[in-house]
Amino acid sequence: MANNSEVRVRFAPSPTGDLHVGNIRTALFDWAYARHTGGKLIFRIEDTDKERVTDEYIQAAIQSLKWLGLDWDEGPEVGGEYGPYLQSERLDIYSQWSQKFLDQGDAYYCYCSSEELEERRQVQMKNNKAPGYDGKCRDLSDAQIEQYKSAGRKPVVRMRMPNGETIFTDLIRGEVKFEHEFVPDFVLARADGSPLYTLAVAVDDVLMKITHVLRGEDLLSSTPRQIRVYQAMGLTPAQYPVFAHLPFVMGQDNAKLSKRNGEVSINWYREHGYLPEAICNYLALLGWSPGDDKENISMTELVQLFTIERVNSSPARFDPKKLEAINGDKIRALTLDKFLEWALPFLIKEKVITGTPEEIAIVKSALPIIQERIITLAEIPAMLNFLFVKDFVVAPDELPKIKDEGSQQVLMVALAKIEPLSTWNHTSIEEVLRSALIDELGLKPRIAFSALRIAVTGSHISPPLFESLELLGKERSIARIRAGISK
């Protein structure tokens, strides 16, 4: 299969929760490689563990990929000639191959109980031997088999590993070798007939004509087992899929990324206002480089530039601050219409607006003045709330900052200067306020405008002051300044 002219890669998660950063980085590399080579991305769900992989999680995985813009050529909702693409719908296929391996002598029934396996494992460890199956049921006599059956034991199906070694060339790590003495006979199917990962993944890769397997480094050690299944299916080494094991994604503490050292759920980033293109841009840089120290790339550029040769074998460190910076850059690059499209759901969710045409028009007017100031979309509601709140009050923790004598003087002078204005726009507002507060009172801008900002927006963090006053309108602006003075 590796010499197939068409590249076929697969993303095959086992979603037991929201897809996390590591899952998505793998999906992104699969997608980019398929698109770069003109090949196909196959999206497959490993859902044989029905207790942990629920329909809800499967749908969430599908929606996450759609939201990120990682489309697939075969899989759920798309179909394809090698389906079905949920492993739970392929159980008969695995059962047939399991039986075929038994008939060929490549596999055998193992009657060892879990208690017996654990007991022998403890002995192995006590004797400083690598723990693993010791081959007890490899060559049972008919009488021994009958005895186990009479005792009511239900066997698992176990693959027979030959003596020797498995050698393969990893596109990222070069030649990799596993001695079979450290790869014991492994289970293909449980006693109830359900397949284990190694059987299902290898059978699916062969039947779906997968040519390249890009996946996490944590699965490297399972490769000799998969290759053993390929052999039992009748493939020659030239027909195996080519492997490329991607580097680990580490947290800031150099431990494997987890909730303890960095948020890992993609849905968390979605809900907290990160753009899909920013997430993809940043994850692409975890273990891969476009060259020339380039960091801000579009999805189109990623497709053009992505090659496995540029993937590093060293672990990559996930830096939330770097992701924030890229997200801010992507927000600043949005057109006004796109920015509005992304902003509205956050404003509606936080009940800042209901979504009327009048409200949307105000939001559209306000967005340009905050576009340079935010790093996530989730900051928008707090930034624009002052324009829509009906019963406006200054935040309690901000109130002391406008009660001192200096602040009260600023508010009174500002009120006296802007009240007579006949033209209400940010240019005229800025002109009279700078003249009065900076030139005449001799105040520094930060001190001159801080109290005014709090009185008008309710917070010292807000959009640009003069534009905020213009958007708020003269009547409401003056009312809020007066209220600030009375307090």
Distance (Å, whole) CA 15 – CA 1: 27
Q: Tell me 195's DSSP state.
A: B
Side by side, the strands of the sheet bearing 107-110 are: 107-110, 156-159, 186-189
The residue assigned the tokens 């296929």 is 93
Residue 399 in 3-state DSSP? helix
Is 112 annotated to bind a ligand? Reply is: yes
Is 185 annotated to bind a ligand? Reply is: no
Measured between alpha carbons, how far is residue 330 from residues 114, 342, 375, 397, 462 in Å?
53, 12, 9, 32, 21
Is residue 134 within 8 A of residue 124, CB to CB? The reply is yes
Is residue 454 within 8 A of residue 396, CB to CB? The reply is no
Q: Which residues, in sequence order, are bridge partners of residue 189? A: 157, 195
Distance (Å, whole) CA 34 – CA 40: 5
Residue tagged active-site, from 50, 259, 338, 349: 259
Give the burial string for 172-210 (b: 16+ CB within 10 Å, else e): beeebebeeeebbbbbbbeeeebbbbbbbbbbbbbebeb
The residue assigned the tokens 């693993």 is 132
Is 280 annotated to bind a ligand? Reply is: no
Is 259 annotated to bind a ligand? Reply is: yes
Distance (Å, whole) CA 262 – CA 322: 13
Which stretches of 127-249 are DSSP H helices?
Answer: 142-150, 197-207, 223-232
Distance (Å, whole) CA 30 – CA 70: 9
Q: How many CB atoms lie within 10 A of CB 469?
A: 27
Is residue 242 within 8 A of residue 171, CB to CB? The reply is yes
Give the burial string for 369-392 (b: 16+ CB within 10 Å, else e): bbbeebbbbebbbbbbbbbbeeeb
Are β-strands 186-189 and 212-216 bridged in parallel, bridged antiparallel, or unpaired? unpaired
Is 137 annotated to bind a ligand? Reply is: yes
- Cis peptide before 276, with omega less than 30 degrees from 0? no
Is 474 labeled as catalytic in the residue annotation?
Answer: no
Residue 372 in 3-state DSSP? coil
Is residue 13 within 8 A of residue 266, CB to CB? The reply is no
Measured between alpha carbons, how far is residue 353 from residues 252, 340, 343, 371, 451 in Å?
38, 13, 11, 19, 26
Q: Which residues are annotated as a binding site for Zn(2+)?
A: 110, 112, 137, 139
Q: Which residues are annotated as a binding site?
A: 110, 112, 137, 139, 259
Catalytic residues: 259
